[in-house]
Every structure is written in structure tokens, then in C-alpha cells.
Chains A and B, each alone.
Chain A
Amino acid sequence: MFEGTLVDLVPFEDDYATYLESWMNEEAWFRAHLWDRREPHPEDAVKKYIEKMEKNERAALIGYQTKAGDPIGGLIYDHEWSRVRKVEVTFFTGDSRYEGTDEVLDGLLMLARYCFETRNMHRLDAMSLAFDEARIDALRRAGFVHEGTLRQHIRWDGDYVDVELYGLLEDEWPGYAARIEALGLQASDLEPKPKPEKKLEDEKALDEKILAP
């Protein structure tokens, strides 16, 4: 576990894998994966996605949760490019109650911290659909700088929408601690959701398998 101020970063497994079966079919997912064709993701596709990310040495899918252990969603880095020390970062708010909260911002800050302070990156790339205000707000507050607008770039529900590009450089990153101090994050104190039932069923099935003679 990698501990932040309002959230902790954890492996994307167990309950996260179960939650992803619904998260991957919800609005927040598609906003974060703006290049992808909108299509349903059955359980198999979800499993494959997690496996693909685990095997990809230039990318990672990381779970983030409140201090009480309530899973919020995923933090992603992708296309890490070692020669240029550059990586694309994104995040999704699986549990929509957390949309726009400081927990999500702390998730993004922890991802930036990890990329700069652990992975030694020089530059983080981020982008947002122009209407995704919660994402743009989080990027701005985290210190990302707006670098341009890709005009009418992505087909979205009958329209072609702009994509806003952001970048954050190593020498603009004051360090996680300094950033946190300047921001004064507030916990939203949402009630943790009940554990997913699906998981319990799976465990039961597995137990039965193991117990079966």
C-alpha cells in the first residue's frame, strides 16, 4: 500500500476486479478512455483488460481508496517512454459519489508523485474531453498546464467534441508534500459502500470447488 493524505494506492484486485465489471460500463470509464469505442464490456473483457494492464511493462492500473478502505476507482499510467521520461496519466472515479471530491484529486496527486518521485518521469501528459469539468478541475488543481485544444476530435453522442491537452513537468512539481500543504484537502467523509456481493458468490463457488471431493 502506498499511503496518501485522503487516499491510499493499492493493487487492482479482489473487490476492485468485481467493481470493475460495472465501472467499465459506466460513464466515468468512457470519459477517461476517450479514444475507445463505446461498447459493452462483459466480465471476460474486464478480466482481460486487467490482465493486459498487469502484463504491460509500460503501463499500470492502480486502485485507490479512502482511508476507511472504500474503493473509489482507478489510477492509470500508460505508454511510459523511457528515452523521453514521459508518460500519459489518467484516472476514473468508479464510485460516482466521489466525482469532484478531494479524494479524486489526492488520487491524481499520488499518481503524479509516483510518476515523478518513484518512476523518475520528466513529463506527464493528460487530456480531457472539453466538457469533463470535474477532470479539468482536478488537473488544474494538481498543477497541470493547459497546452492546447484538439478541435472536434472525438465523436461523442452525436457530436464531435474538443479534447483539452495538459502537461506537467518535473521542475513544476514541488513534491507531493508541498503540493498537499498548498491545497489543504478536505475529506468528503462518505459512508463506505457495502462490499460487493458478486465477490462473495465467487468465493463461495471457489470454496465449493475446493471442498468438493
Chain B
Amino acid sequence: MMFEGLLVDLVPYGKRFFALERTWRNNDSAFWSSGGDRHIVSRASIQRMADRWAEEAEQMGPSRGIMFGVQAKDGTPLGFITINWLLPHSRLAMLGARIGDPAYWGGGYGTDALLLIIDYAFGWLDMRKLWLGTTSVNVRVMRQMEKTGFALEARERCAALMDGVWHDGLLYGLLREEWPGRDAMVERLGLRAKDGQNGSSTR
């Protein structure tokens, strides 16, 4: 089940990850992933949220979202990457990601995870289109989209309020026929494992 990348592996979002939720939810990573919310949330309310999601998920059947933990090759939990809001009848699904520790941003981890989940969504879930939303100031996501061949499909004006300033919402889409496959993309982007980490996890 585990998907192995060059810098990260996709694994179940289990206890090791959940233990870090409180830190991640209360820091800037949640601000960026939510498009401007400043969560100030306790462990207990995070647990309640998780319980509620789990309950809802059970009733949702094939449209239920899928969440992976993203971990570094040394086993360090970094965050999540998800496929949400699956519409099997339109073969459409939305992606989402959050690397919790800002120290890991911009290091290629997110893109490595993205390539894995795109391959999974097309190859295993038989999706035909993937899309995602971000804000017009999220340069990391915008760069990622550009690198991986997503098209900017819509700009929703003033759809996000971030620290008192209105920004646009951006919607990106990738059709299956536009995806050359993960191997081709790894090559095109020249992605490589970090020195001393040849793709095998220590945990």
C-alpha cells in the first residue's frame, strides 16, 4: 500500500502523525492550507473533529476522501496529502496538502508527494480530472502547479481573507491526458533522492 517516492513516502495517517496535529493546526501551515484561517484549537477539539470526520466518512462510501501521511525517508512525519470530494460519476477529485513544519517547505517534499498521489488517483482510483484550490499569494503551490502541468482554470476575486487583506482564490485542474506519468515527471523535473537516502525508509 505504501507509495515510495524519492524524498517522501505516503503512509497511513496514523497516531504518529495525529500526535503532531495540535502543533500543525496552530501554526502557519494551517493558515496557508485553509486560505487564511488562524486556528487556535485544543487537542480535545481536534480529537472531536477527527471523530466526527470518521463518522461521516463511514456513511460516504465511494466519495469518501482519502488521506495519506507524508513522511520523510528517515520516517519523520511531515504532514498529509489528501484526495477529497471524489465524484466517481464525473471521475473528478480534489487534492489537498499540508506539510506541518515550515522548516520542510520549499525542499521538494510536497512535489514528491504530489507526483505520488496524482499517479494513485489516475492509476488506481481511475479519476479523469484532478483539481485543487489555493490563494493567489501561495507561491509554493502556484510554483508546484506550474511545475507539474496543472492549468489555472479560474481566479475567484477576493475569495480569501488573509490577515485582513482580500486575495483571489485560484483553481487549478489537471486532465489525465495531460499527465505524462510519474516517471516522466521525475525525469523532467530532475528530481533526486537526498544524499545518503536511497529511497528506503528506516521505519
Contacts and interface: CB of A to CB of B under 8 A. Distances in A.
A148 interface: yes
Given A84-B160, A160-B128, A151 B173 contact: yes
Interface string B139-173: 00000000000011111111111000000000101
Interface of B is mostly: strand
B153 A151 contact: yes
Nearest to B178: A151
Interface string A192-207: 0000000000000000
Given A37-B89, A160-B90, A152 B158 contact: no
A122 interface: yes
Interface string A143-160: 001011111111100001
Interface in A106-140: 122-123, 125
A153 B152 CA distance: 14
Given A150-B131, A151-B175, A165-B171, A122 B153 contact: no
Interface in A159-210: 160, 165, 167, 169
A147 B156 contact: yes
Interface residues of A, number: 23
Interface residues of B, number: 24
B57 interface: no
Given A83-B161, A86-B159, A165-B171, A154 B154 contact: no
Interface string B28-45: 000000001100000000
Contacts of B91: 155
A35 interface: yes
B127 to A, nearest CB: 12
Nearest to A161: B90
A148 B129 contact: no
Contacts, number: 67
B90 A153 contact: yes
B154 A147 contact: yes
B11 interface: no
A122 B158 contact: yes
Interface of A: 35, 37-38, 83-84, 86, 122-123, 125, 145, 147-155, 160, 165, 167, 169
Interface of B: 36-37, 87, 89-92, 128-129, 131, 151-161, 171, 173, 175
Given A125-B156, A167-B157, A167-B159, 17 more contacts: A84-B161, A122-B158, A123-B156, A123-B158, A123-B159, A147-B155, A148-B153, A149-B153, A150-B171, A150-B173, A151-B151, A151-B175, A153-B129, A155-B90, A160-B129, A165-B171, A169-B158
26 contacts: A84-B36, A84-B159, A84-B160, A84-B161, A86-B159, A123-B157, A125-B156, A125-B159, A145-B157, A148-B152, A148-B153, A148-B154, A148-B171, A149-B153, A150-B171, A151-B153, A151-B173, A152-B128, A152-B175, A153-B131, A155-B89, A160-B128, A165-B154, A165-B156, A167-B158, A169-B158
